[in-house]
Chain A
């Protein structure tokens, strides 16, 4: 019988090794036996210690993360497999239990390829097996290396991720920018500035590297007047260059740089100066691979040319976050750094999306982050909430303009999703025509929410009032804020609605001083730290900031601090709210990192007595601020 699905599986497999070297007939036979597995984000395909099964896998869509669980039960990412990558090959090579855990990094579709069928048709195909063994062994984490290849690293069992990456193959820049050795310095400098790079390799007619010119050479030798700008590059280049073969490890690369006190290694075909240049390994590349350093991560984000790179960079921020939390660095500082990184990721995603658009934006616009990202207090990956505001256009141009920005937003939200920010369930994203409007339409929207508040309006405005401009024309956003405060001055009813919303969740202590836990559904017996502890504080801070006409402060703890400043008689309450908010955020982040989720639901039983007490102490200010809101906005009869 005809099997179209098998044919389409075939069409996909044939593009990727090792399937691309199989005979058509054999590959079709394999394709018929494939299973298509759908995985939601976080679904586990196999766990460390699971007995081997009869399949290995190829990613069709999405991405699968392989984890290594070390002796302290900490999970370290070994690899992220993308479309076309194979993984879970261990059963094929050695019939033994899985040593890694494979979970879906995002929503994914995976092909499971039966090993039996595969072995029958590929029997004795040396090329195929060579590929598979290489694929299997390239994971530096994999103890296979220790077990199977003469126990080179037998006494070296990696314990931290840094140790391990040091022995990964260095990720150098391919296609480096070069100039001919006959060129003038001016020509070289123009090239450098055009490519926004700090160094250029001088090559001879065989593209063998003969020297290197860096920014500092230009500073020291040209700007000082030693050489004119028209001087030949050979006059000021550093020569000879230090070269290496392409398969050097990060640790080797770093060692070479320290030894010669240089920042750049030329990678050549045979590793000597007398062969073709194929790449450059910079000190920056080394830092990036090793790097849990915010400025390195930020640089990496700014230079990323693909979403995949952005994702890797953002994942590093999670490692950074973890180590910051462990080192007890102040939460307000951590929040600032992570927010910076999140904003940078968003900005880069927008820049990349703009490049993909057929034309530049028709009018000025601003990309807004909403909700927690807008408040700049997002530590872990959360849903993306965003919006676009664009400059007013003629009525007959409106639709065309809006559809341009919707198209742009689709690209941006898609790559943010790939990076790890889930789509907003309620679709509060700039790719939704409702949240992608002109400045006038936005003003009307807010005015409508403020003057005609109802449940829905309050729900939406609680998200939209915490906006901040991440990219584009800031003036548009200021204009919007002014108009919002103008509308707010016309009514007090809106504040009452916001107040009621802020009191929606009572302080999280029950009558018998027990924690209130969720009563039904999947989250039964879990404590929802977001809705029961963080939201009341966030809501209260927003309401008080708006009613006090405070502009430009979106962050909850900063809002409370500002309030403490302008209302000295409530200073203590506001400061304790600010403190409680930070403590609770930290708690949520730690939980989230521990369970690899948003940390929103906490299993109370897993907490120590001390942690419970700490948590409880944070709830007192919540109770007090809610009482204060009741008084101030006269909500007793309104609730």
Chain B
């Protein structure tokens, strides 16, 4: 039998991808408590909602451990893309030849992976952002993200009293922000939404923690 395909892939692993994978291999991680975990809230602005056809125009992310977000450790990337849809400009405000310094998609991947490492990722409607990033990785022959994901929309529902939990209801980030009294600054920019998502996450977990000992099963489960 020919195992070439297996080794081939391994050989082809570019350094930055291997470095990213390595962050998950360490068995050294002793402290796995929620309080000491590095979380990253992130958001992507895209040309649209089709994961195959559309492209990521910008990625914003903030990282935090505990309840402190360091501003200087935030990430803000603008990508140079061939795909462009004028109709989405009014949402995210990113024009084809906009002002911010843009990087290539591959460059963005390198920076993003080096930034997130093995952190737990948080996004609002996380599946969308996850799929967009995974598609981008696939275009460059890389594997999928290995990180654990938390969706603030799902998490919020869990925090509601059982009487008001509506299975079908999909909460928008705007609704959550309003409900949880988060300052809605820079809405519809990737970084602004990432910060809002981080604060939303902190507020929800605060609520959950009040009632029970918050554990990973609760945070990560569906």
User: Which residues in A have some Cβ–Cβ distance to B below 8 Å?
Assistant: 1-6, 8-9, 11, 31-40, 43, 60-61, 107, 109, 112, 425-427, 432, 456, 460, 521-522
Contact check, B161 vs A427: say whether CB atoms are below 8 A apart: yes
A-B contact pairs, 6 of them (CB 8 A): A8-B186, A35-B69, A36-B68, A426-B161, A432-B164, A456-B163
Contact check, A35 vs B68: say whether CB atoms are below 8 A apart: yes
A32 and B72 contact, Cβ closer than 8 Å, known pairs A38-B202, A426-B164: yes
Within the complex, the shortest CB–CB distance from B78 to chain A, in Å, comes to 8
Contact check, B71 vs A36: say whether CB atoms are below 8 A apart: yes
Contact check, A112 vs B68: say whether CB atoms are below 8 A apart: yes
Contact check, B76 vs A8: say whether CB atoms are below 8 A apart: no
Contact check, B101 vs A2: say whether CB atoms are below 8 A apart: yes
How far apart are the CA atoms of A522 and B160 in the complex, in Å?
A: 19
Q: Per-residue CB proximity of B198-218 to A under 8 Å, as 1/0?
A: 010011001100111100000
B57 at the interface (CB under 8 A from A): no
Contact check, A32 vs B71: say whether CB atoms are below 8 A apart: yes
User: Which residues in B have some Cβ–Cβ distance to A below 8 Å?
Assistant: 60, 62, 67-72, 74, 76, 78, 100-101, 160-161, 163-164, 181, 183, 185-186, 189, 191-192, 195, 199, 202-203, 206-207, 210-213
* Chain B residues, CB < 8 A from A112: 68
Contact check, A60 vs B71: say whether CB atoms are below 8 A apart: no
Q: Tell me which of B71, B78, B195, B213 contacts A33 (CB under 8 A).
A: B71
A109 and B71 contact, Cβ closer than 8 Å, known pairs A5-B62, A427-B161: no
* Chain A residues, CB < 8 A from B191: 3-5
Contact check, B161 vs A107: say whether CB atoms are below 8 A apart: no
Q: Tell me which of A2, A32, A34, A61 contacts B181 (CB under 8 A).
A: A61
How far apart are the CA atoms of A43 and B35 in the complex, in Å?
A: 14
How far apart are the CA atoms of A199 and B87 in the complex, in Å?
A: 64
Q: Tell me which of B100, B199, B207 contacts A38 (CB under 8 A).
A: B199
Contact check, B213 vs A107: say whether CB atoms are below 8 A apart: no
Within the complex, the shortest CB–CB distance from A142 to chain B, in Å, comes to 26
How far apart are the CA atoms of A427 and B183 in the complex, in Å?
A: 21
Contact check, A522 vs B212: say whether CB atoms are below 8 A apart: yes
A61 and B183 contact, Cβ closer than 8 Å, known pairs A35-B71, A37-B68, A39-B67: yes
Contact check, B71 vs A5: say whether CB atoms are below 8 A apart: yes
Contact check, B71 vs A425: say whether CB atoms are below 8 A apart: no
The 7 closest A-B pairs by CB, nearest first: A426-B161, A36-B69, A38-B202, A4-B191, A40-B206, A38-B67, A35-B70
* Chain A residues, CB < 8 A from B60: 4
* Chain A residues, CB < 8 A from B203: 38, 107
A521 and B183 contact, Cβ closer than 8 Å, known pairs A5-B195, A31-B71, A112-B68: no
Main secondary structure of the interface of B (DSSP, over half): mixed
* Chain B residues, CB < 8 A from A33: 71-72
How far apart are the CA atoms of A1 and B111 in the complex, in Å?
A: 12
How far apart are the CA atoms of A1 and B191 in the complex, in Å?
A: 12
Q: Tell me which of A31, A32, A522 contacts B213 (CB under 8 A).
A: A522
How far apart are the CA atoms of A1 and B68 in the complex, in Å?
A: 22
* Chain A residues, CB < 8 A from B67: 37-39, 43
How far apart are the CA atoms of A1 and B108 in the complex, in Å?
A: 13
How far apart are the CA atoms of A39 and B68 in the complex, in Å?
A: 9
Within the complex, the shortest CB–CB distance from A571 to chain B, in Å, comes to 39
Inter-chain residue pair count (beta carbon < 8 A): 86
How far apart are the CA atoms of A468 and B119 in the complex, in Å?
A: 51
Contact check, A4 vs B189: say whether CB atoms are below 8 A apart: yes
How far apart are the CA atoms of A367 and B19 in the complex, in Å?
A: 61
* Chain B residues, CB < 8 A from A425: 161, 207, 211
* Chain B residues, CB < 8 A from A432: 164
How far apart are the CA atoms of A1 and B100 in the complex, in Å?
A: 9
How far apart are the CA atoms of A9 and B62 in the complex, in Å?
A: 14
A107 and B71 contact, Cβ closer than 8 Å, known pairs A2-B100, A426-B163: no
Within the complex, the shortest CB–CB distance from A423 to chain B, in Å, comes to 10
* Closest Cβ neighbor of A42 among chain B residues: B210
* Chain A residues, CB < 8 A from B164: 426-427, 432
How far apart are the CA atoms of A584 and B212 in the complex, in Å?
A: 26
* Chain A residues, CB < 8 A from B68: 35-38, 112
Contact check, A3 vs B183: say whether CB atoms are below 8 A apart: no
Contact check, B76 vs A3: say whether CB atoms are below 8 A apart: yes
A4 and B69 contact, Cβ closer than 8 Å, known pairs A61-B183, A456-B163: no
Contact check, A3 vs B163: say whether CB atoms are below 8 A apart: no
* Chain A residues, CB < 8 A from B78: 2
* Chain B residues, CB < 8 A from A427: 160-161, 164
* Closest Cβ neighbor of B202 among chain A residues: A38
How far apart are the CA atoms of A1 and B61 in the complex, in Å?
A: 13
How far apart are the CA atoms of A227 and B71 in the complex, in Å?
A: 70
How far apart are the CA atoms of A31 and B70 in the complex, in Å?
A: 10
Within the complex, the shortest CB–CB distance from B117 to chain A, in Å, comes to 18
Q: Tell me which of A9, A61, A456, A460 contacts B71 (CB under 8 A).
A: A9
How far apart are the CA atoms of A604 and B207 in the complex, in Å?
A: 26
How far apart are the CA atoms of A39 and B202 in the complex, in Å?
A: 9
Other than the given A5-B62, A5-B191, 11 more pairs (CB < 8 A) read A3-B71, A3-B72, A6-B71, A35-B71, A36-B68, A38-B68, A107-B206, A112-B68, A425-B207, A426-B163, A522-B212
Within the complex, the shortest CB–CB distance from B189 to chain A, in Å, comes to 6
Contact check, B72 vs A8: say whether CB atoms are below 8 A apart: no
* Chain A residues, CB < 8 A from B189: 4
* Closest Cβ neighbor of B207 among chain A residues: A425
Within the complex, the shortest CB–CB distance from A379 to chain B, in Å, comes to 21
* Closest Cβ neighbor of B161 among chain A residues: A426
Contact check, A60 vs B183: say whether CB atoms are below 8 A apart: yes
Contact check, A1 vs B76: say whether CB atoms are below 8 A apart: yes
* Chain B residues, CB < 8 A from A6: 71-72, 74
* Chain A residues, CB < 8 A from B192: 4-5, 8
* Chain A residues, CB < 8 A from B160: 427
* Chain B residues, CB < 8 A from A1: 76, 101
* Closest Cβ neighbor of B192 among chain A residues: A4
Most chain A C-beta atoms within 10 Å of own C-beta, residue among B62, B163, B189: B163
Contact check, A521 vs B212: say whether CB atoms are below 8 A apart: yes
Q: Tell me which of A8, A43, A460 contacts B185 (CB under 8 A).
A: A8
How far apart are the CA atoms of A9 and B74 in the complex, in Å?
A: 13
How far apart are the CA atoms of A37 and B198 in the complex, in Å?
A: 11
* Chain B residues, CB < 8 A from A460: 163
* Closest Cβ neighbor of B190 among chain A residues: A4
* Closest Cβ neighbor of A41 among chain B residues: B206
